[in-house]
Structure 1
């Protein structure tokens, strides 16, 4: 299933991104006014070099748009965000990630999230489980499962329900959701985090819930979604309670909630 290949791809992309992160770099803007840096493009190129060795097609935030008439033929494909958390990258807080997921029949079955500044590597494989590794010098251990810690590792304190939220995005609806959690659970503990790390913190057991009542795209969530599901969490649509679906006609996600 190419797991070692995509682990290596994420780490190598992270190395390339960090080399730009630590130097001066320019910032451009896409048509929707969202920022893009040279690091996004470098990460995209490195990942593609690896994924092009596989039999599966690639859908990437930084790649060309693939029409639905082509995508609908894909039973399995890679869904990639080479640099999730560009705002965190620009703000230099280290909370950005490299995300690679394998989607099968609309479901994320393998997910890799690499945090190159912190050298944290999260892995989720359907039917096998999820792990977190803390790497040295961006090196993947030969027996990475034994070197990693099985998720979840830290169960939240039952006396303090923990909510994780975005550093860069908040909405009135999210505030109302949290207010309702306070009525149910009493005093809450809050964690702020960027990028797909928020999903990983729930998978890890450091947070109980992550409500995302704001726009995201499929490539923003797929890798973290696979990790969370593999760690025994639920990643569900806010309105219906059904799991998130991938390779939809519109690649915009509905609002969703990640919970233990």
Structure 2
């Protein structure tokens, strides 16, 4: 895999998908359908998926591709593959709250190593560079030319005053009970994979997720966090969260800066 070619393609496709998503987001109305798992899907999800999938298959025809919106790709059995959530945070999109992202990642031997997370409504884009270090690019964005980037790094966590980020749409009593095990200075909510990026930039120290997620929800954010010095572990035994699992469903997990003293669940 040529990482420079990959990162260039992922960045460009994320921006192109973001433009398509925002065109629909800013329209007077858009259709919302319900999938078999009761989650919403919009024409923006489908348009972004078609664009990204075509671009990745053209550039990397021999690499397995898993994408949320193509059920036949969920039968892929591989430990190295590309994985896409074309619009993560569809509920936030439908409510026009802006906390949605385009997620594209490479998983190698069960570990997300390269990824891009683009939040078009917020004008924030995070990705791993060709050597695996994470950056945030400062807009306005040009699809063909990379703009100014800032290296990002996780916080030096203060365990007596932690910054916590949790899900905006899926926060529940179990999550709050776990968060209360820590000395928390402040807590914020965010949608989609932006939570990983807030830990990656040091804007938060820990993100616990006690709820259902799929690998396409987390791989890009996981890669960005990993490239900023962070970690993602299973909630139950604190072993690294692995990818390429049958069905691509995740267990509960914790994303955090390594200085955080993790509590048992």
TM-score by length of 1: 0.90
Q: Match for 1:99 among 87, 99, 103?
A: 103
Over 3 Å counting, the alpha-carbon distance change for 1:165 and 1:173 in structure 2 is same
Over 3 Å counting, the alpha-carbon distance change for 1:178 and 1:159 in structure 2 is closer
Q: Which residue is equivalent to 1:139?
A: 142
Q: Which runs of 5+ in 2 are unaligned?
A: 258-265
Indicate yes or no: 2:91 matched with 1:87. yes
Q: Which runs of 5+ in 1 are unaligned?
A: none
| 3-state SS of paired residue (1:31) | coil
Take 1:235 and 1:67, find their aligned partners in 2: how far apart are those partners?
A: 23
Take 2:122 and 2:155, find their aligned partners in 1: how far apart are those partners?
A: 18
Q: Which residue is equivalent to 1:191?
A: 188
Take 2:160 and 2:237, find their aligned partners in 1: how far apart are those partners?
A: 29
Take 1:126 and 1:257, find their aligned partners in 2: how far apart are those partners?
A: 26
Take 1:116 and 1:5, find their aligned partners in 2: how far apart are those partners?
A: 17
Q: Which residue is equivalent to 1:43?
A: 48
Over 3 Å counting, the alpha-carbon distance change for 1:164 and 1:67 in structure 2 is closer
Q: Which residue is equivalent to 1:9?
A: 13
Over 3 Å counting, the alpha-carbon distance change for 1:143 and 1:116 in structure 2 is closer
Deviates more, 1:52-61 or 1:81-90: 52-61
TM-score by length of 2: 0.89
| 3-state SS of paired residue (2:244) | coil
> Shift of the alpha carbon at 1:124?
2.1
Take 2:74 and 2:89, find their aligned partners in 1: how far apart are those partners?
A: 25
| 3-state SS of paired residue (2:181) | helix
> Shift of the alpha carbon at 1:171?
2.4
Q: Which residue is equivalent to 1:237?
A: 234
